[in-house]
Each structure stands twice: as C-alpha cells, then as structure tokens.
A and B are shown apart, each in its own frame.
Chain A
Amino acid sequence: MTETPAIHIRDLVVGFGKKIILDHLDLDVSDGEILGLVGASGGGKSVLMRTLVGLLPKRSGQIDFADNSDDERRWGVLFQQGALFSALTAPQNIQFPLRERARLSPGLLDEIANAKLEMVGLTREDGDKFPSELSGGMTKRVALARALALDPSLLFLDEPTSGLDPIAAGEFDTLIRTLHRTLRFTVFMVTHDLNSLQAICDRVAALADGRIAAIGRLSSVLKSDHPWVQAYFHGARAQKLGLGN
C-alpha cells in the first residue's frame, strides 16, 4: 500500500526459558490496513502482540514503528478481557489516558467520554456503570473506546470477538470497520473468528511454528500449501463458511 510499513518486524525471537515461541519472525503491517493474525492456540499470537506493545521482552531481532514517537505511545490496545480499570466507571476509564496526557476541564472531559461512548455504540445511560456491571459485549466496547481515547494511529486488538454471541460479534466487526473508515488507523488484530477474517481484514497472516507461514489477502492465504494453514482454512468449520474449496 504505502512505502513505510506501520510495523516492521525482522528476525524477531521471543522465548521463555528453553522454549522458543517466535523463531526469527518477519512481518510488515502496512499503514492503514486491517491485518488479521491467525494461529494455533498457544502458538504465539498473543505473545507476538504483547511483544509488540512492549509487555514481553524480545530475545533478538528488531521492531520498528512508522509512528515512533515512543514517549507518547500512539497506540491503543484492546485486551481480550477488556482490562478496564475496575475502580473507575466506564467514562472515567475512557478519560484516564486523556487525564494523564493533558489538562482538560471536567466539562470537556465528560463531553469527550460521552462522544467516545456514542462512537462505540453505547449511550449515556450505560455511562456511570462500573466494569463489573457491564456485559461482555459492553465491556469490549468500553475497552475499545478507551483504546481509541488518544486517537491512536495503531490499534491492537486481542481476540476482539471472543466470548461474544454471533450477533454481538458481527456488530463489533462492523463497528471496527466503520471506525477504521472514519479514524483511519492501522489495525493489528489477533483473532480466531473466521467470520471476522472474512468480513473486515484486508490481509491475513497465519502464524505457525513461530513464523509467518502465509500472508496476504484471504484468497491467497487460502491457496497456501503450508499444512497448518491447510488444516485451519479447509477444516470442517471453515468449509461451512464457504472458505475452503
């Protein structure tokens, strides 16, 4: 798409003890795309994401971000369980990153939080609830709003649709697509959801044996002859969605 990739990963090695999880992994995430990362459970998808956002140390290799204003951290992260601060209400959660960065008046902060809530499809009434009072789908929406609080250029999503029913998952996919269109961020999405891959991802990367086994549009990844990719996209569940041949 563009000349400088949003994330540029070369020879990345991550491991715990004797176990190597990511083995000389190379990956480029293009600017402005939605990249879906698939892989076996325990295969290192989350490890890759956590390494990218700096939660896990890398053994070797390099990770470069196009937007390398490191102190500002221009990225948003949506964790699998939301990871909302349980001591704060939903709007306070959204305001938190803003409060840390800038001095804004309480009135403006409320308006911003409310705007973000509405952008992710929630209402003011859902507002003054604590994370423990929110349903799974609402938690994810609030967490997405918090991830978008600073209008990041890069958004990391860890299994955004896991634990949601098919309708809520579909709505969440649509939400990400819409926000992507209006806010123009790059999305790095770890997912298991074949529907999401089909519906919203520009490109799909398959992680197997600690490396990217196949990457490209879904149609070209489907043609990969890597055994794991074959098994993943041509299994019984994928067949039902009309993905396999």
Chain B
Amino acid sequence: MCTHAARTDIRSIDLRSVTALDTVGAWLLERLARGGATRAALTGADGPYGDLLEEVRGLNRSGSAERRSDNPLLQRLDQLGRGSRRLASDSAAFLHMLGAVSTALLGILRRPPSFRLTSTVYQLGRVGWQAVPIMVLITFLIGAIIAQQGIFHFRRFGAESYVVDMVGILVLREIGVLIVAIMVAGRSGSAYTAEIGAMRMREEIDALSTMGLDPVAVLILPRVLALVVALPILAFLGSLAALYGGGLIAWLYGGMSPAIFIARLHDAVSVTHFEVGIIKAPFMALVIGLVAAVEGLSVKGSAESLGQQTTASVVKSIFLVIVLDGLFAVFFASIGL
C-alpha cells in the first residue's frame, strides 16, 4: 500500500473490484481517505464491505492513541524509586510474616492441642524424607568435585594431603549447609509459594478466614516448622555425603587410602566446625519458609502472577540464605570460631 504517495491528490477511491476486505484493510482505506485536505470518497463498495467501511468511518475519531515516551533518565530514576519502595515493603511483609508465625507459635504453646501434627508430619515427609536422595546425590558430587580439584592443584606443590583439611572444613562449615539450603529453597520454597499462591487464587485462604481460622496457623506454620526441622537433618546427611564423596575421590584419584583419609580428617576438623555449619541451618530454613509464605500470599489473580511470585520466592530466598551465611561468617570470625 502506498499511503504516502501523492496524498493530497486523492479525491475518490474506487473499490468496485475489491473481492475481499478485512477490518485492517478497511481502516487503511479510511486512513487514506482521511489523509488529504478534503476527505476522499470511497465509492463502489457494496454489501457487507460497504457496512464495514461505514463502521470503520466512525472509529479512531478521538485522535490516535499517543505513545508516551518519557525521558529515559527519568524512567531510570522512576524505576529506582519504585524498586526502593518495593524493597521497603518487602522487608515489612517479611517482618510481618515473622510476627504472624511467632504469634501462631505462641498460640500453640498456650493451647498445645491446636497444633496441626498431621499437617506438619506430612510436610516434613515432603520436604525432608522425599528430599533425601537428591540432596545426598548433589552433596556427594560437590564433595567429590572439591576433592578432585584440590588434589589436581595441590599436587603441584606436593601438598595433596591438605585436600582432606580443605574438604573437611569447607564441607562442614560452609558448603554442606549452603548447598542443601539452596536446593531446599529451589525444591520446597518454590512448591510452598506455588501451593499457597494457588490457594490464594482459588479463594481457599479466604474460605479459611471466613471459618474463623487463621491461615498462618493452619497453612504456614506447619510448613515453616517442617522446614526448620528438615533442613538441619538434610544438611547433616548432605555433609556426610560430601565427605564420603571427597574420601572416595581421594582414594580413587589421589591414591589416599580411606584409613589415612579418616585419620587426617580426624586431625583436621573438630566438632566446632560441624557446629558452626549446622547452627545456620534452622535460620536458613526459617528465611526460606517465610519468604515462600510471603510471596505465596501476595499472588494476585493471574497465572502470570503465580509464576512471578514463585520465581521471586526462589531468587529472594537464595539471596537471603547467602547473605545470612555471610553474616554468620562475620559473626563467627569476630567471636573467634
């Protein structure tokens, strides 16, 4: 279509030989007709096309929809401002959830029969028991990889035997619990957010509230408690698997017999290393559970929103887990552990 060619010259458009016309075609013709100083006449269209042209004639009269293009710098600043406000409201929502869960927990301490044991045990099975194989496999591989890299690089200095120290301390203090926490955030945190979000969309949470029940006590507390119990256990099993993987590689690849590995491990690590690692697990579990609950409850009506909140839940909880790990590292360093 040459809509720009000699616009002002068009007086009338003959449509007699048009055999097919859709809304877009009709609009382009209408635009062409409007374009000149005087309106061009559209002639020769008959039957349904005449009606379509007549209909189109009345459309888009209120000026074309203006595409607003703001100053890009202002847009950046706008985004930055919105982001900071969101950060503030996210933190508030997180603290609010912490308060709500603590209140629900206090309610149970006051009235123990109201504890939802069935629900908690069921969740524990899902996030704990069922997660064991994958957690053990992943941490086993991580332990093996650390040992292999250690042996490969330490060999140049003839310091292969220090691999045991590295694997032992790294796994027990940091990697074991961190890997497991990240896996749990991806595996169970996302599931929590999606479940709670879907319940929100289907008004199930509203239904609970109208029955006079507290959704936090019914849905969220059992899930958070299950995570707080499961994560230390998973971190313990994961650390064992990582040490096992490291020992296996030290034997097969580094030629260090298991007896020597165990003896060196005994010298290299102390219970303190293990304690420093495992003490972090319940806190990480709490963060994962609370973030998942907050994101799940903020799901709006759409499917897209459910996806967004689930992604946000995983990203935020992994971020917070790593930040928490850093804070613990600073804390332990300052008290000399």
What is A's interface to B at a CB cutoff of 8 Å?
50, 53-55, 71-73, 75, 77, 79-81, 83-86, 96-97, 100, 156
Contacts and interface: CB of A to CB of B under 8 A. Distances in A.
A55 B199 contact: no
B211 A73 contact: yes
Interface of B: 198-199, 202-204, 206-207, 209-213
A79 B199 contact: no
Contacts of A97: 211
B207 A85 contact: yes
B304 to A, nearest CB: 19
A54 B204 contact: no
Contacts of A71: 212
| Residue from B198, B206, B212 whose CB has the most chain A CB atoms within 10 Å | B212
B226 to A, nearest CB: 15
A156 B204 CA distance: 16
| Residue from B206, B207, B213 whose CB has the most chain A CB atoms within 10 Å | B207
B198 A83 contact: no
A53 B206 CA distance: 10
A73 B210 contact: yes
Given A79-B203, A86-B199, A86-B202, A72 B212 contact: yes
B212 A83 contact: no
24 contacts: A50-B206, A53-B210, A54-B209, A55-B206, A55-B209, A55-B210, A71-B212, A72-B212, A73-B210, A73-B211, A73-B212, A77-B207, A79-B206, A79-B207, A81-B202, A81-B203, A83-B202, A83-B203, A83-B204, A83-B206, A85-B207, A97-B211, A100-B213, A156-B210
Contacts of B198: 86
A120 B202 CA distance: 22
Nearest to B218: A100
A141 B80 CA distance: 49
A54 B212 CA distance: 10
B209 A86 contact: no
A104 to B, nearest CB: 15
Nearest to B119: A87
| Residue from B206, B209, B211 whose CB has the most chain A CB atoms within 10 Å | B211
A100 B212 CA distance: 10
Nearest to A76: B210
A75 B199 contact: no
Given A72-B212, A77-B207, A96-B211, 9 more contacts: A53-B210, A54-B209, A55-B209, A55-B210, A80-B203, A85-B199, A85-B204, A86-B204, A156-B210
A77 B210 contact: yes
B210 A54 contact: yes
Contacts of A73: 210-212
A189 to B, nearest CB: 16
Nearest to B114: A100
Contacts of A79: 203, 206-207
The 4 A-B pairs at the shortest CB distance, nearest first, are namely: A73-B212, A83-B203, A83-B207, A77-B210
Contacts of B204: 83-86
B113 to A, nearest CB: 9
A55 B198 CA distance: 18
| Residue from A75, A83, A86, A156 whose CB has the most chain B CB atoms within 10 Å | A83
A96 B213 CA distance: 11
A96 B206 CA distance: 15
A235 B237 CA distance: 70
Nearest to B113: A103
A86 B209 CA distance: 16
B302 to A, nearest CB: 15
| Residue from B199, B203, B204, B210 whose CB has the most chain A CB atoms within 10 Å | B210
Contacts of B206: 50, 55, 79, 83
B202 A100 contact: no
A75 B210 CA distance: 8
Nearest to B212: A73
A77 B204 CA distance: 12
A80 B199 CA distance: 14
B274 to A, nearest CB: 38
Contacts of B212: 71-73
Contacts of A77: 207, 210
